Amino acid sequence: MRPNYANLKSQCSVKMANKIKNREAVEYCNDQDIIDIVSEEMEQVKLKDVDKDGKIAIIPKDKVKDLIGRSPDDWDSIMMRYWFAMEKEFFVV
């Protein structure tokens, strides 16, 4: 049975976070300021309402903005890279 995600962003975020956690994807950077910013954004990828039996979702972007004081734009671009891997999963002929 496939997991049921609330939306594309949740699916890409969860899958990309797992790839990074499992060391199947990396982000190279030598600038410590950028590393700190991206790390802070990545730490905010958390499941929403995990105690419910509904769809898998992450906390919304406006909540993340409140938590870190800015938009998580770097994470948005990183997690959307998973779309290309997902395309292969679902559109294989």
DSSP letters along 9-69, please? HHHHHHHHHHHHHTTSS------HHHHHHHHHHHTT--EESTTSSS-BEE--HHHHHHHHS
Q: Which amino acid is located at 1 in the chain? A: M
Has residue 1 been placed in a domain? no
Asked if residue 62 belongs to a domain, the reply is: yes
Is residue 5 a contact partner of residue 11, using CB atoms and an 8 Å limit? yes
Identify whether 45 is part of a domain: yes
Residue 37 placed within a domain: yes
81 in any annotated domain: yes
Residue 85 lies in a domain: yes
Whole-number Å distance between alpha carbons of 23 and 60: 25
Inside any domain, residue 3: no
2 domain-assigned? no
Task: Please give the torsion angle defined by the CA atoms of residues 10, 12, 14 and 20, in that order, rounded to the nearest 10 degrees.
Answer: -150
By residue range, what is the domain housing residue 64? 8-90
Number of domains in the chain: 1
CA 6 to chain centre: 13
Query: Could you give the percent of the chain with pLDDT greater than 90?
Result: 55
pLDDT of residue 92: 47
Q: What is the pLDDT of residues 45-69, one digit of tens each?
A: 999 887 777 889 999 999 999 999 9
Please check the confidence at residue 14 and state whether its pLDDT lies above 70: yes
